[in-house]
Structure 1
Amino acid sequence: MLTYAQVNEADFSGIQQAAQAWRQLRAAYEGLGERYENQVRRRLHQRWKGKTATSAGHTIVQCKRQTSEAAGEAGRMSKLLDDSSRPR
């Protein structure tokens, strides 16, 4: 069982560093899906046609959505860690 004194004197710097790492990860993911879509889709439309192009287009949209979701999750993790490391 933790005492108030133990919690009050605890070193939360590791949690703060983890929150910073999650913020950096969020920043890395933000916009990545859009950049990927812009670069790949442009080339795709120039060279591919038919079902293959349609299928690839769906995959690009999925990748964009997944990177957006990853950025959101990283942002939520950084907030959770920030909140848990602040004294009450």
Structure 2
Amino acid sequence: MSSGNLRNELIRIEREIKIYRKNDSEIIREINIDSIDFNIIIEIVPPPEDDPLLYEGHILNENQLIKFNHYLQEPINPNFDLYFYVLECTGIYK
């Protein structure tokens, strides 16, 4: 399937913060952040020039997690000794 066909099959984009355990990279928790306006997300995580829509995974720092917590019903209590935190984007296709 060509990339043009994939674009036509895209239903929506979902963004999540995923919490990974450091010792084995197992996903511990997934937090959907689709309710947060994209303009707020890019204020928290400034996109690099080659990824303006934040489609690639972006490792989050403590300051960014604190800012995201203002918008989450269940805040993240970061523990960088045990976990790392990644903003990820997934395409949902037909």
**Larger strand share, 1 or 2:** 2
Q: Which has the higher helix share?
A: 1
Same fold (TM over 0.5): no
Give TM-score scaled by structure 2 length: 0.21
Structure (1 or 2) with the larger CA radius of gyration: 1
